[in-house]
Amino acid sequence: MLEIKDLHAGIEGKEILKGINLKVNAGEVHAIMGPNGSGKSTLSKVIAGHPQYTVTSGVIEYEVNFKKLNLVGMEPDLRAREGVFMAFQYPVEIPGIPSSVFLRAAFNAICRHQGAPEMDPIDFDQYLRGKMKLLSMDEKNIDRPVNVDFSGGEKKRNEVLQMAILNPRLAVMDETDSGLDIDSMKIVAEGVNKLRRPDNAVILITHYQRLLNYIQPDFVHILYNGKIVRSEGKELAQEVENRGYDWLIK
Amino acid sequence: MVDQMKIEGLELYRSKLENASGAWLKTFRQRCFGQWIEAGIPTIKDEEWKYTSLTDGLDRSFQLPSRHQLIEEKQLLDYLDNKDINVVLVNGVLWKEGFSDLKHLPQGLTVSSLHTALDHNNAEIQETVSKLTANDTKAFLWLNQALFLDGAFIQVSPEAVIEPLVHIIHVTSGITDDTVVFPRSFISVGEAAKVNILESHICFEPVRYFSNAVSDMKVASDAEVGYCKVQAEGHQAVHIGTTRIWQEKGSLLDAFSFNYGGQLSRHNFSIFLKGGQARTIMNGLYAIDGSQHVDNHTLLDIQQPDCTCSQLYKGLLNDKSRAVFNGKIYVHPQAQQTNAYQLNKHLLLGIEARVDTKPQLEIFADDVKCTHGATIGQLSPEEIFYLQSRCINQKLAIELLSKGFIDDIINTIKTDAVRVKLSRLLLKKFPEVKL
């Protein structure tokens, strides 16, 4: 589904990713761990297409519905319509736009892209409320502006809600666990687990191992100084939890 | 030597007006005219007019309105709502044909001619209209006082609760190019009364004119008032307006100023909190495009303790439009325990759009909580990226975010009938910002 080959990227002339290679197949969950400043968030933003980051070389091959796309150079909204989703570490507040309006605009953009009929506000409202229930979210938030005055936990849950609505093929979750108490983390993890299917894949970017107690990864990668320095099964996460990162990067 | 405005047939108009006025009003008009002549048209050398030049707008020969006929009645009917109490004035004169039946209004509400009220020696309004306050347009206040034909006089009795929206509509209609009109209103809300008032300045004809408006309102103690001024003048118009509101003890005022039309507009809006524990919301929006110029000078004058004020003015500027904001909050020495907040935010969509903003706090009490600030900017790239990462293309993302910027302030208006009208106007001007 996703194959990153020798990816170099950076911001304002400073190279942060220094040759990333990563292969993710449908149905898999990959965890990317690493100390602060190793390039984890940069990787997620580069996959999603954040305009501030420049890819200097390498490709991000993404295969969906039997077509192969190189994500590098594609507009972020086009990547999203092709099924790439990024859950933000710091979800943005959008004053004045109710969640329902925002999510319907997003959902219908996918419908148009796929040549499917758009959903009208009444049907969408039903659909949205159903997904909110699934994530134990307060339905009052449906008419509130996106993320405005939400607590940290509510914002993260809202990211998972958006993921549920948009039904992506590849979800990149950038430190979705950061700033969450244990209850919120359980709800978020449950939400992600419910959305796992044989035909989609998840990349979990995390600093700590604890989220991986709730979402079991198939592979764990350690990112350090812009490179993946080790890739193993889920036991690696526990080892990092016990021993820290130092032994991996010496 | 100051610049004077050229007005044709002024002497005849004045003598007719003065002959039709009672003794008090006649003297008042004469005095104001003298002050207007002495002051002349302000120039950009005047600190208060530094960013707003009147040269292009007022350097021509003006006519005075001679007819008061409603030409585009259909468009007016589209604009107003039958559920509201519609008080229509055409070129400054009460339009008594059709619309709301002003003789059968809800109990506690009366609408009459301001000219008559002044002639009948109503001391309360004579005293109020004679006031000159710190934030008045001075020259233009005097000009209006000297030459206004008539106005709406709205009275709400103590403890009356007026359910429907009272909509005062100043229509400029049936005039030739370069006419000057003098809309005027006076609103008096009695103790513990409740009312929502919308005051619209509107024109449906493609003419060039100057609207010199003055509105005064007195809010008695414990009254609750919603007030919104809509400046939706024709696109070639110059609008200079002075609005003054005096609030007594324990009253609640939820005010909104919406600047939308006109080529050049200026609104000097002052609220005086004369009584303690008064609460005031003073919000505003200017949504402009092309080469429109809009200037807001606001004053929140807090004179007594325990008052709460919040002010949020937002500007949406497209093309090469230009906005000026000068907002002052003045806290008098005895106004302890004041809680005041002021914010002025802009969204510049046009590359050549320009804003000059000056939020000002002047605090002479020592135990108060006051904050202020101003922002000017384009949309944040982080917000645009967030929407793009949710499948929304860049163009639609910009439209949605602009709409969000506007709705955020429009949604502070609690009266549905007012909010709907403003949204309808906005949709006409920024059709791309719909959804």
B245-254 pLDDT, tens digit per residue, is: 999 999 999 9
The nearest alpha carbon in chain A to B382 belongs to A92
Residue A115 predicted with pLDDT over 80 = yes
A236 closest CA partner among A249, A245, A227, A224 = A245
Tell me if chain A has a CB within 8 Å of the CB of B312.
no
Pairing relationship of beta strands A2-11 and A14-24 according to DSSP bridges = antiparallel
What pLDDT, on the 0 to 100 scale, is given for residue B157? Answer: 98
- Average pLDDT score over residue span B190-212: 97
Q: What is the domain partition of chain A in residue ranges?
A: 2-97+147-249
Give me the helix-helix angle, B10-20 and B139-147, nearest 10°. Answer: 60
Q: Which CATH superfamily is domain A2-97+147-249 in?
A: P-loop containing nucleotide triphosphate hydrolases (3.40.50.300)
Whether residue B433 is predicted with pLDDT greater than 60 in this model: the reply is: no
Least confident of A69-78, A132-141, B163-172: A132-141
Tell me whether strands A53-64 and A2-11 are parallel, antiparallel or unpaired.
Answer: antiparallel
Maximum CA pair distance of chain B?
A: 71
Residue of A64, A92, A101 for testing the chain B interface, max B β-carbons within 10 Å: A92
Question: Are B265 and B231 a contacting pair, CB within 8 Å?
Answer: yes
pTM of structure: 0.85
The pLDDT assigned to B435 comes to 40
Task: Answer whether A96 sits within 8 Å of B406, measured CB to CB.
Answer: yes
> With the CA atoms of A65, A70, A73 and A76 taken in that order, what torsion angle do they form, in degrees rounded to the nearest 10?
30
Residues written for chain A: 250
Residues 77-116 of A with CB under 8 A from B: 77, 80-81, 85-86, 88, 91-92, 94-97, 101-103, 105-107, 109-110, 113
Residues in A closer than 8 angstroms to B343, CB to CB, are: none
In chain B, count H helices and then E strands.
10, 22
Tell me what pLDDT residue B434 has. 46
Place of tokens 């936990």: A153
Q: Tell me the pLDDT of chain A averaged across its residues.
A: 91
* pLDDT tens column, B374-387: 999 888 899 999 99
CA distance B127 to B186: 12
pLDDT above 90 covers a percentage of chain A that reads: 66
Report the half-sphere exposure of A106 (CA within 13 A, side-chain side): 32
What ipTM is given for this predicted complex?
Answer: 0.95
State the best of A50, A77, A165 to mutate against chain B, taking most chain B CBs within 10 Å. A77
In A71-208 the beta strands, taken as DSSP E runs, fall at 84-87, 94-98, 145-146, 170-174, 201-206
Asked if the Cβ–Cβ distance from B393 to A101 is below 8 Å, we say no
Task: Classify strands B308-317 and B339-348 as parallel, antiparallel or unpaired.
Answer: parallel
Bridge-partner residues for A53, per DSSP? A11
Residue A250 has pLDDT above 70, yes or no: no
DSSP state of B63: B
pLDDT for residue A141: 84
- pLDDT category at A28 given cuts 50, 70, 90 is very high
Residue-wise pLDDT tens digits, A209-233: 888 889 999 999 999 999 999 999 9
Residue type, B132: L
User: Which of B383, B390, B409 lies at the smallest CB-CB distance from A80?
Assistant: B390
From chain B, pick out residues whose CB is under 8 angstroms from the CB of A103.
390
Cβ-based contacts of B312 with chain A (< 8 Å): none
pLDDT digits (tens, 9 = 90+) for A168-203: 999 999 998 887 888 888 888 888 898 889 999 999
Q: Give the pLDDT band of residue B432 (cuts 50, 70, 90).
A: low
HEC string of B397-420 equals HHHHHHHHHHHHHHCCCCCHHHHH
Question: CA A224, CA A245: separation in Å to the nearest integer?
Answer: 9
Give A190-245 as a 3 state SS string: HHHHHHCCCCCEEEEEECCCHHHHCCCCCEEEEEECCEEEEEECCHHHHHHHHHCC
pLDDT one-digit tens code per residue, B283-331: 999 999 999 999 999 999 999 999 999 999 999 999 999 999 999 999 9
Distance of CA B61 to the CA centre of its chain: 25
